[in-house]
């Protein structure tokens, strides 16, 4: 079986990367291949990296509140790049009131602060294409 | 009996006595408050003479919104300001930059030009209320703006007090609002220190932060050791320019975290205070007591607060405030209970402010200096924490120094590995967090008052910037920016040119672009 490949990105200007790096390590420990993008990625860069890397999973970490506008932009770009069939997930500081919109935008997994690493790993294992 | 090891790796005994103090190094480093090595505090009378300054971190939307919250806090008894800037400002982008879209005014106040500073501090008495600017990548520009704004209002900058965070090395480890590569970033910090030493000698141009290194996964001893390594890197840069240590070291300040075990934290502050004094005296030849002081802000501790049962964060905040008062901090700022969710509400801010006021008014925390001094446990732990910090600093030096380790991403990789282990420890119950892995409740999260974000405000900020651009003397802006570029290419101190540019209403983004043209941008080393 092919190893699951995750592109884990920090979109926008948000500099809080402790959580993203912790999740990256958990995914690596779970046996996934992880491409961590580092900070300040534009939606265009994230879509390009996901395409170039032929990732199964596109994961975002957002702590500074701009997740909805970023996900709106990214959705269109991921669709254009033909990545609609990949698993899109997002974690971070994500108020409950935004979850429905994030789901509607195509983000199948939503992991707000306090989510467990094990739950993220299991979700990816069960849902990655 | 199960062994207890504190977060810094020191085994904690069930009981301490005189022999433990002696075995850990004795009483030689205790001294008296206000006297070298300042273990017990940097002033002889501490809070009896001047209580800690209360300085909640505040800023959102535009300058006018933030100005209103500043006045609210001052009316409620706050004694200093601590300004939060939005991410575009922190990253050196103007509000109308495409990369700023969706982020203008979101996590702090948007600042484009000197006009925004004029509005933000309108009506604030800058002699009575000292202002701290939480700015790093764009610090040189924002410090210049602050000094220019004060000058314009008739203050003598030679007497003006205030602080800028301006600690770029820790931004590379955690927090992430860097702009330029490591070397020119350090030069800019050196430029601000040198400029302030000569022209604004009461202003603290740098607040070296262990805080965010701890948030990124460092243990308490590493937090302080890495911060001191970073402070030394800045001091070395300034000394290379020929400025004697006693002419600037007195204005270096610090920002530390405080979450964790109460006594370990108090010992950490006492140990760090004496270690820094020793370093400045023995390694740098400082002779003025002020050059040896750890003047600090403490009280945050976001990493210790929880998303679960957020009201418990009010209680944690009170313990953190107690730690900082017992440890003799100069300034306190508490995280608000709702901060894992949103920008703090007025209500949450007021609870934090009242928590600090309670210590002074009701709990007797300002009555006596260093009340834990002389405790066998605290003195032993203070000695042990100091030794741990010294060992960590020696290790950094042996590995090539902090600048190299940060540039290569080695410190980042080390602390993030520790953050991962800690998260595992929490999830698997080895490290206890009330409400998280023990004593959970399945109650629904209490209603939070979410801070509103209005797209219209971002558009208004862009329109205001366009208006400033249209109204300013374009030729003056161009020549000021040309001077910034020329000075960046030379080894001149950049601050006079940046001061000229901000006074001509050149924007944060315009000045930053010129500097990026010369210095380039930082490329983050991703290492695991």
Distance CA B309, CA B71 (A): 31
Phi, psi of B322 (to 5 degrees): -60, -45
In this complex, which of A42, A64, A112 lies closest to B87 when CB atoms are compared?
A: A64
A113 touches chain B (CB under 8 A): yes
| Chain B contacts in chain A segment 44-63 (CB below 8 A) | none
Residue contact A113–B424, C-beta within 8 A: no
Is A47 part of a structural domain of the chain?
yes
Residue of chain A nearest B309, judged by CA positions: A114
* CATH architecture assignment, domain B4-41+49-427: Alpha-Beta Barrel (3.20)
A104 touches chain B (CB under 8 A): no
Is A109 part of a structural domain of the chain?
no
Distance from CA of B175 to the nearest CA of A (A): 5
B62: tokens are: 């535009």
Distance CA B330, CA B334 (A): 13
Question: Which residue in A86, A34, A83 sits closest to A61, CA to CA?
Answer: A34
Structural domain containing residue A86: 21-103+116-127
pLDDT along chain B (528 residues), means of 10: 96 98 98 98 98 94 95 93 97 97 95 98 96 98 98 97 98 97 98 98 98 98 98 98 98 98 98 98 98 96 94 97 98 94 92 97 97 98 98 98 98 98 97 96 79 89 98 98 98 98 98 98 94
Work out how many domains chain A is built from and give that number: 1
Is A88 part of a structural domain of the chain?
yes
* Structure confidence at residue B444 (pLDDT): 72
* Structure confidence at residue B149 (pLDDT): 98
Residue of chain A nearest B409, judged by CA positions: A38
Give chain A positions within 8 Å (CB) of B93.
13
Distance CA B335, CA B314 (A): 9
Residue contact B91–A13, C-beta within 8 A: yes
Question: Which residue in A98, A96, A87, A91 sits closest to A115, CA to CA?
Answer: A91
Residue contact B420–A21, C-beta within 8 A: yes
Distance from CA of A127 to the nearest CA of B (A): 23
Local structure of A1: helix, strand or coil: coil
CA B423 to chain centre: 24
Those residues whose C-beta lies under 8 Å from the C-beta of residue B146, and which sit 6 or more positions away, are B117, B131, B133, B162, B164
In this complex, which of B101, B215, B420 lies closest to A22 when CB atoms are compared?
A: B420
Those residues whose C-beta lies under 8 Å from the C-beta of residue B42, and which sit 6 or more positions away, are B33, B34, B273, B289, B293, B294, B295, B328, B330
Question: Which residue in A31, A70, A71, A34 sits closest to B526, CA to CA?
Answer: A34
* Structure confidence at residue B198 (pLDDT): 97
Distance from CA of A101 to the nearest CA of B (A): 16
Distance from CA of B217 to the nearest CA of A (A): 8
Angle at B176 between CA B510 and CA A28, to 5 degrees: 140
| Rg of chain A (C-alpha set) | 13
Query: B13 exposed, middle or buried (CB, 10 Å; 0-12, 13-18, 19+)?
Result: middle
CA B203 to chain centre: 15
Give chain A positions within 8 Å (CB) of B419.
18, 21-22
Residue A123 has pLDDT above 90, yes or no: yes
Residue where the block lists tokens 């092919």: A2
Residue contact A22–B416, C-beta within 8 A: yes
Tell me: the pLDDT tens digits for B36-58?
A: 999 999 999 999 999 999 999 99
Q: Which residues of B touch A (CB under 8 A)?
A: 87-88, 90-91, 93, 99-103, 106-107, 171, 174-177, 215-217, 306-308, 340-342, 416-417, 419-420, 423-424, 427, 436, 450, 453, 524, 526, 528
Residue of chain A nearest B448, judged by CA positions: A95
Complex ipTM value: 0.97
Tell me: the pLDDT tens digits for A57-99?
A: 999 999 999 999 999 999 999 999 999 999 999 999 999 999 9
Distance CA B495, CA B248 (A): 16
Residue contact A25–B102, C-beta within 8 A: no
Domain ranges of chain B: 4-41+49-427
Is A58 part of a structural domain of the chain?
yes
* Structure confidence at residue B448 (pLDDT): 82
* Structure confidence at residue A1 (pLDDT): 62
Distance CA B505, CA B112 (A): 9
Is A120 part of a structural domain of the chain?
yes
B107 neighbors B86 (Cβ within 8 angstroms): yes
Local structure of B23: helix, strand or coil: helix
Q: In the beta sheet, which residues pair with residue A109?
A: A89
* Structure confidence at residue B379 (pLDDT): 98
* Structure confidence at residue A30 (pLDDT): 98
B205 neighbors B140 (Cβ within 8 angstroms): no
Domain with A75 in it: what CATH number?
3.40.50.280
């Amino acid at each position: 079986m092919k190893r699951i490949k995750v592109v884990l990105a920090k979109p926008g200007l948000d500099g809080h990367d402790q959580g993203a790096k912790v999740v990256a390590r958990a995914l690596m420990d779970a046996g996934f291949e992880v491409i961590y993008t580092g900070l300040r990625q534009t939606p265009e860069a994230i879509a390009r990296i996901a395409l170039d890397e032929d990732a199964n999973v596109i994961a975002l970490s957002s702590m500074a509140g701009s997740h909805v506008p970023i996900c709106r932009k990214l959705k269109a770009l991921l669709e254009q790049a033909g990545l609609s069939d990949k698993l899109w997930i997002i974690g971070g500081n994500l108020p409950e009131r935004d979850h429905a919109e994030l789901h509607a935008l195509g983000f199948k997994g939503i992991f707000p602060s306090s989510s467990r690493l094990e739950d993220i790993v299991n979700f990816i294992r069960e849902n990655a294409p | 009996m199960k062994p207890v090891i504190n977060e810094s790796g020191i085994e904690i005994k069930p009981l301490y006595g005189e022999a433990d103090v002696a075995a850990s190094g004795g009483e030689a480093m205790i001294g008296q408050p206000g006297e070298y090595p300042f273990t017990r505090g940097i002033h002889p009378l501490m809070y009896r003479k001047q209580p800690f300054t209360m300085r909640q971190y505040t800023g959102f939307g535009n300058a006018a919104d933030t100005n209103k919250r500043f006045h609210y806090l001052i009316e409620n008894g706050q004694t200093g300001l601590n300004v939060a800037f939005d991410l575009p400002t922190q990253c050196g982008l103007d509000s109308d930059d495409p990369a700023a879209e969706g982020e203008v005014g979101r996590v702090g106040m948007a600042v484009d030009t000197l006009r925004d500073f004029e509005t933000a501090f309108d009506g604030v008495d800058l002699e009575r209320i000292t202002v701290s600017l939480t700015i790093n990548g764009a610090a040189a520009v924002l410090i210049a703006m602050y000094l220019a704004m004060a000058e314009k209002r008739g203050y003598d900058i030679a007497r003006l007090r205030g602080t800028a965070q301006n600690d770029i090395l820790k931004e590379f480890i955690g927090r992430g609002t860097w702009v330029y590569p490591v070397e020119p970033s350090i030069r800019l910090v050196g430029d601000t220190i040198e400029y302030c030493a000569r022209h604004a000698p009461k202003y603290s141009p740098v607040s070296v932060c262990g805080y965010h290194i701890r948030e990124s996964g460092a243990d308490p001893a590493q937090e302080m050791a890495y911060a001191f390594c970073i402070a030394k890197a800045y001091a070395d840069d300034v000394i290379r320019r020929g400025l004697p240590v006693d002419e600037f070291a007195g204005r270096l300040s610090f920002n530390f975290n405080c979450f964790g075990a109460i006594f370990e934290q108090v010992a950490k502050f006492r140990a760090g205070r004496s270690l820094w004094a020793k370093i400045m005296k023995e390694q740098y030849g400082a002779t003025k007591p002020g050059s040896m002081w750890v003047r600090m802000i403490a009280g945050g501790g976001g990493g210790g607060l929880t998303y679960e049962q957020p009201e418990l964060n009010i209680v944690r905040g009170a313990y953190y405030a107690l730690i900082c008062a017992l440890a003799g901090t100069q300034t306190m700022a508490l995280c608000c209970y709702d901060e894992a969710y949103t920008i703090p509400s007025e209500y949450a801010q007021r609870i934090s402010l009242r928590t600090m006021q309670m210590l002074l008014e009701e709990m007797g925390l300002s009555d006596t200096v260093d009340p834990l001094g002389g405790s066998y446990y605290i003195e032993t732990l203070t000695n042990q924490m100091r030794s741990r910090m010294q060992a960590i600093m020696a290790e950094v030096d042996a590995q090539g120094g902090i600048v190299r380790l940060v540039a290569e991403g080695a410190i980042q990789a080390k602390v993030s590995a520790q953050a991962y282990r800690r998260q595992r420890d929490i999830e698997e119950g080895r490290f206890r967090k009330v409400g998280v892995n023990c004593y959970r409740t399945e109650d629904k999260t209490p209603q939070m008052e979410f801070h509103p974000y209005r797209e219209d405000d971002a558009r208004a900020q862009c329109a205001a910037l366009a208006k400033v651009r249209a109204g300013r003397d374009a030729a003056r802006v161009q020549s000021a920016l040309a001077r910034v570029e020329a000075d960046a290419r030379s080894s001149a101190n950049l601050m006079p040119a940046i001061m000229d540019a901000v006074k001509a209403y050149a924007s944060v983004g315009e000045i930053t672009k010129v500097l990026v043209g010369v210095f380039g941008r930082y490329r983050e080393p991703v290492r695991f």
